[in-house]
């Protein structure tokens, strides 16, 4: 496989994996809908940093060693705890959502005051959320995105598979650098794109009309992803 073909294969595989539903995407979309673009962009940067670290580790051949290390299961547990906490927050907010927010046929968004309802919903969510949840600093949000990305075993397996498929034993260092940097740039574009795409007025109107149902949906997805992460843990056996 030529260097150009290897680079194209790696970038294409990354795009497919990045746009597929996963805990990082769900977290970014939910945050953008409920809290706005800026917090979601901070999360997106954290997730992209995690992608960069996995790509770099796999290119250097240390990804497989991290997966097999005694410390990695604890990182997975930490990521699952983050997702369980997010699921609990979403479920609590859904339970406390006032009745009467469901979507229904009616006048155009401008005539129904959709933006005002949405802002009211977000303010209401702030009252139900954990203390400081809506005022997390960008670094804290970046850290949350980084933990969710690094603690997902599928991320490590994906990058190991990419490097195994795209690279030959005699691959030039420049190709390794191109794959790592190219995929990192794509991660920033794709995850930031998720954060900004859901700011489209039509999607925000949908969120305002079906906020409780969507929060239950986000809670369920967080639980599913957390359970899948925990089910893949391989704890190190006792040493002799």
CB distance 76 to 153 below 8 Å: yes
Cα dihedral 54, 57, 60, 65 in deg (nearest 10): -120
Is pLDDT of 203 > 70?
yes
Average pLDDT for 131-159: 79
Burial of residue 37 (number of CB atoms within 10 Å: 0-12, 13-18, 19+):
middle
Measured between alpha carbons, how far is 79 from 169 in angstroms, rounded to an integer? 33
pLDDT tens digits along 85-144: 888 888 887 787 654 444 443 343 443 444 444 444 444 444 444 444 556 788 999 999
Q: What is the pTM of this model?
A: 0.69
């Amino acid at each position: 496989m030529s260097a150009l073909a290897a680079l194209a294969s790696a970038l294409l595989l990354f795009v497919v994996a990045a746009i597929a539903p996963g805990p990082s995407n769900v977290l970014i979309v939910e945050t953008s809908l409920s809290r706005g673009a800026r917090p979601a962009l901070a999360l997106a940067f954290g997730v992209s940093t995690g992608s960069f670290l996995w790509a770099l580790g796999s290119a250097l051949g240390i990804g497989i060693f991290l997966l097999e290390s005694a410390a990695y299961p604890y990182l997975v547990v930490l990521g699952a705890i983050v997702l369980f906490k997010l699921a609990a927050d979403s479920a609590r907010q859904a339970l406390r959502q006032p009745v009467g927010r469901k979507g229904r046929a009616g006048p155009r968004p401008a005539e129904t005051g959709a933006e005002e309802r949405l802002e009211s919903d977000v303010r209401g969510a702030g009252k139900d959320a954990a203390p400081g949840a809506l005022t997390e600093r960008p670094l804290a949000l970046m850290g949350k995105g980084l933990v969710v990305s690094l603690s997902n075993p599928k991320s490590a397996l994906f990058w190991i598979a990419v490097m195994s498929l795209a690279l030959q034993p005699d691959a030039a260092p420049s190709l390794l650098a191109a794959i790592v940097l190219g995929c990192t740039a794509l991660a920033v574009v794709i995850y930031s794109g998720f954060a900004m795409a859901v700011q489209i007025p039509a999607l925000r109107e949908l969120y305002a009309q079906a906020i409780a149902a969507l929060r239950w949906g986000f809670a369920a997805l967080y639980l599913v992803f957390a359970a899948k992460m925990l089910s893949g843990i391989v704890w190190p056996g006792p040493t002799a």
